[in-house]
Structure 1
Amino acid sequence: MKLTSQALDALRVGFKATYQAAFDAEAGREDYLKIAEIVTSTAGEEKYGWLGELPGMREWIGARVVHGLAEHDYAIKNKDFELTVAVDRNHIEDDTLGTYGTRFKTLGRAAARNPNQLVFGALKAGFSTNCYDGQSFFDTDHPVIGEDGKMTTVANTDGGTGAPWFLLATREIIKPILFQNRKDPQFVSKDAPTDDNVFSKKQFVYGVDARRNVGYGMWQMAWGSKQTLDAEHYKAARGAIGGMKGDHGSPLGINPNLLVVPRSLEGAALELLNAERNAAGATNVWKGTAELFVCDWL
């Protein structure tokens, strides 16, 4: 193939089409939407000071009590993500491009999978990564103002050392994980014969890049556990989330609806949520109490 501008333009169009087809095919698997709140970002970072506010209505006595931004200075900075492949000039000149289709399919699939990897990676990392109140997202001592006006602590985990599982409330105003998107994946190229990469390395370069990041919403909407997934620990998780209160003892009325487990806990989760009877032969009272999502991204 002669390296004319028309030939290189056609080559780029073909590579992009292969990339886009793979991207579109994988983009239908938007598992992250189950647990993530989508935030459109317009700057280098976004601030979420309001996450510290969970007020309830009060009897109007005297002047109104104005709820402004909380003191929490929680911000999510956007990060750059990229994946790049190179096509050897000799392979173009010799028309030996048969293997490159797979590379561009991989490029498209990786770009489409990025949100799933980020969101569920954040969920799994929640045992050691801070949220808006300065505590780990899953922690035993989140600070809350009690009904008596004094500071107290609340847990949204019961620890453990096994495979992690998560009970989430995803039908509330905000979902547990924040997916902050600044720029969707863009297909880019450096494929002019005069580009430095072609001149110095004989490589035509194609890639994809995006700007985004993930963070945490309300910890009250999530329970993370590394204990055995059984009726006892599941009951504790449901009770803890359902009993969550905002500052000054205001009940939040949260109803957990989604159980997220890794593939290794699929059997235990199916038995817990689908079986008619438990191991002792008694009626399984937890049957159908949550939707099950077996997550391969954990």
Structure 2
Amino acid sequence: MAIITPALLLALNTSIQKSFKDAYAQMTADPFWKKVATLVPSSTSSNTYGWLQDFPQLREWIGERVVKDMKAQGYEITNRLFESTLGVQRTAIEDDQFGHYSPIAASMGQTAAQHPDRLITDLMASGTSSLCYDGQNYFDTDHPVYANEDGTGTLSTAANYIDGVEPAWYLLDTRKILKPFIFQERTKPEMEMKMDPKSSDAVFDSDIYKWGIRYRCEAGFGFWQMALCSKQPLNTANFEAARKAMRKFSADGGRPLGIVPNMIVVNADNQSAAEDIFAVRSLPNGGDNKHYNKVEIVVDDWAA
């Protein structure tokens, strides 16, 4: 039977912290969210993205500079607070039965690392019913586009959503620094231990030592022009139509944005269809597949 001493608790905490950090580092090597979202550090409770109203472009410099003011109705992303808690029975420590808690801590590290993936997946799924910077749903059929560069003149609309009943698939242009989505991080995931039996209510009242993860972050929408959601069957014809629509997206004033989708995000239901279109070099009836490697296939394991 182990005697619980500060040295024993320190050793246990070191072991659990290491398991958490090692697993977190391993799972953050190549996450889904980094493929589709831009990391934006946050230093306050929320960030306001007024610049999203003006897709970055250059113009010929004739005369004075033309200064575009950031719109007052800037798009705001408010950080949320997330937690996860591990409880270790004091009796387990006394009885030397705490070895299995390191794998649990490692699992918590993996979960913390995958949390941004889940947030971005949920965000994408909510895009047909959640507003972005222009006051429309991120995936919508009537985003406003004005005839003049200053946002005045005749109004026309553009669609980055194709309705249907099939599982959603997404075409994205992720070639630029500013990707279609934003992952905003206020703090890194932190694991803390409440370990002093003299000051810990949990130990005194419940005979439990606690380790807790704390994480402040949120996901939000970037430029809608860089993404298109379709719920039509994933086939060659529907891919070509969606790709053509994205390549025609223009800014206010009619200037082309140079959008070229380079990635398709699918769930497990559409993985085989995507591979048939983009991962096969030759067609079943002979000849070359013109869509071979046209876009990168990314399977979102968190998507329904």
Q: Fold-level match, TM-score > 0.5? A: yes
Corresponding residue for 2:159?
Answer: 155
> Partner letter of residue 45 of structure 2?
G
Secondary structure of the 2:136 match is coil
Q: Does 1:50 align with 2:51?
A: yes
Distance in 2 (CA, whole Å) between partners of 1:173 and 1:87 is 44
**Residue deviations 1:201-241 (CA, integer Å, cap 9, x gap):** 11100011111111000000001111100011101111111
| Of 183, 193, 196, the match for 1:192 | 196
Residue identity over aligned pairs, in percent, reads 37
The more displaced of 19-28 and 163-172 is: 19-28
Listed as ranges, the gaps of 5+ residues in structure 2 are none
Contact 2:274–2:297 (CA under 8 A) maintained in structure 1 = yes
Corresponding residue of 1:140: 141
Aligned-pair distance for 1:17?
1.4
Out of 251, 256, 261, the residue aligned to residue 251 of structure 1 is 256
Q: Distance in 2 between matches of 1:188 and 1:80?
A: 15
2:210 is aligned to 205
In the TM superposition, residue 56 of structure 1 has moved relative to its aligned partner by 4.3
Q: Secondary structure at the match of 2:166?
A: coil
Matched, 1:228 2:233: yes
With 179-188 and 123-132 compared, the bigger mean Cα shift is at 123-132
AA partner of residue 202 (structure 2): N
TM-score (norm 1): 0.94
**1: distance between equivalents of 2:71 and 2:291?**
37
In the TM superposition, 1:77-116 aligns within 5 A as 77-116=78-117
- Deviation of the 1:3 alpha carbon: 1.7
| Cα pair distance change 1:220/1:187, threshold 3 Å | same
> What amino acid sits opposite 1:72 in the alignment?
Q
Q: How far, CA to CA, are the matches of 2:55 and 2:153 in structure 1?
A: 15
1: CA distance between counterparts of 2:299 and 2:90? 44
For these two proteins, the number of residue pairs brought into alignment is 298
Map 1:65-84; keep pairs closer than 5 Å: 65-84=66-85
Distance of 1:55 and 1:88 partners within structure 2: 55
- Distance in 1, Cα, partners of 2:119 & 2:102: 26
* RMSD (Å) for aligned C-alpha atoms: 1.8
Does 2:168 match 1:164?
yes
CA shift, 1:102, in A, is 2.6
Deviation per residue, 1:216-275 (Å, 9 max, x gap): 000000011111000111011111111110001111111110111112111110111123
Kindly state the Cα deviation for residue 55 of structure 1 after the two structures are TM-superposed: 5.9
Q: In the superposition, relative to structure 1, how do residues 70 and 256 fare at CA in structure 2: closer, same or farther (>3 Å)?
A: same
One-letter code aligned to 1:20: K
- Select the residue among 237, 245, 267 that pairs with 1:240: 245
Residue 224 of structure 2 corresponds to residue 219 of structure 1: yes
Match of 2:271 in 1: 266
Higher mean C-alpha deviation, range 261-270 or range 24-33: 24-33
- Report the alpha carbon displacement of residue 16 of structure 1 after superposing the two structures with TM: 1.0
> 1:25 and 1:65, CA in 2 relative to 1: closer, same or farther beyond 3 A?
closer
Question: Does the C-alpha gap of structure 1 residues 90 and 173 become closer, same or farther in structure 2, counting only changes over 3 Å?
Answer: closer
- Decide whether the 8 Å contact of 1:52 with 1:72 is kept in 2: no
* Cα offset, 1:120, TM superposition: 2.2
Equivalent residue, structure 1, for 2:119 = 118
Contact 1:262 1:295 in 2 (8 A): yes
Q: Is the 8 A contact 1:107 1:207 kept in 2?
A: no
What is the DSSP-based 3-state SS (H/G/I as helix, E as strand, rest coil) of the residue aligned with 2:85?
Answer: strand
Give, in whole Å, the separation in 1 of the partners of 2:236 and 2:190.
46
Alignment counterpart, residue 293 of structure 2, candidates 281, 288, 292: 288
- Secondary structure of 2:40's counterpart equals strand
Q: CA deviation at 1:54?
A: 2.3
